[in-house]
Amino acid sequence: MIPKQTPGIIKRIYPSLVWKKESKNEIFLTFDDGPHPEITPWVLDQLSDYEAQATFFCIGENLSRFREIGVEAINQGHKLANHTFHHENGWKTSTQDYLKSVEMCNKIVTEIRGQPNDLFRPPYGRIKKSQISQLRSDYRIIMWSHLSWDFKRKLSVSKSIRKLKVVEPGSIVVFHDNEKSFENLKAILPVCLEHWSSLNYKFSVI
């Protein structure tokens, strides 16, 4: 979940984080907060219809509960990445506790992937400078160029889709495989996948 007011502000303060990638024909779909036993498999089915690969920024405690879903995602060519263990808000968490949570999450991500992980996304997009400087040597801190706003309760789905349709090569798009977002996700994701696919975008992991 990412609050409304942060992206623009943080982008100006922290230009060194990754907001977009260089690419000719790829876009980078990301799903935060899972895995979830019903929602993540639904997402995997949608992605598989378009041979789309995505990056899942997992909450460590969800990944430890639903390891087999993480394994399934990897088997289907997706990537698991770090979204802290307890979904801490960096602004409200001491750097020491924050780093510990990131480390705990990375332990399980690495275990399930069977190889090291260097991708991290801060929950709510909220992270302190001190946390960034500690994490920067070990992680690429991945933000986004396009938010689906799927977590928003009174979302205009058509407006969200309209904004997502204008992705460019290299765009990083955020969705959520959590309960709060599922109704919106069901309405948005299939339409967008169909549209992007018709424009010949390739969907790659970060």
Residue among 101, 97, 82 at smallest CA distance from 32: 82
Instruction: Tell me: does residue 32 bind Zn ion (CB under 5 A).
Output: yes
Instruction: Tell me: does residue 177 bind Zn ion (CB under 5 A).
Output: no
| Part in contact with Zn ion (CB under 5 A); list of ranges 10-18, 29-37, 102-110, 136-144 | 29-37
CA distances to 50, 51, 101, 159, 194 from 198, rounded to whole Å, are 10, 13, 40, 20, 6
Residue among 75, 5, 62, 72 at smallest CA distance from 33: 62
Instruction: Tell me: does residue 123 bind Zn ion (CB under 5 A).
Output: yes
| Part in contact with Zn ion (CB under 5 A); list of ranges 8-16, 35-43, 65-73, 121-129 | 121-129
Instruction: Tell me: does residue 88 bind Zn ion (CB under 5 A).
Output: no
CB 202 → Zn ion: shortest distance, Å? 25
Closest to Zn ion by CB, 3 vs 25, is 3
CB 139 → Zn ion: shortest distance, Å? 16
Chain positions contacting Zn ion, by CB under 5 A? 32-33, 123
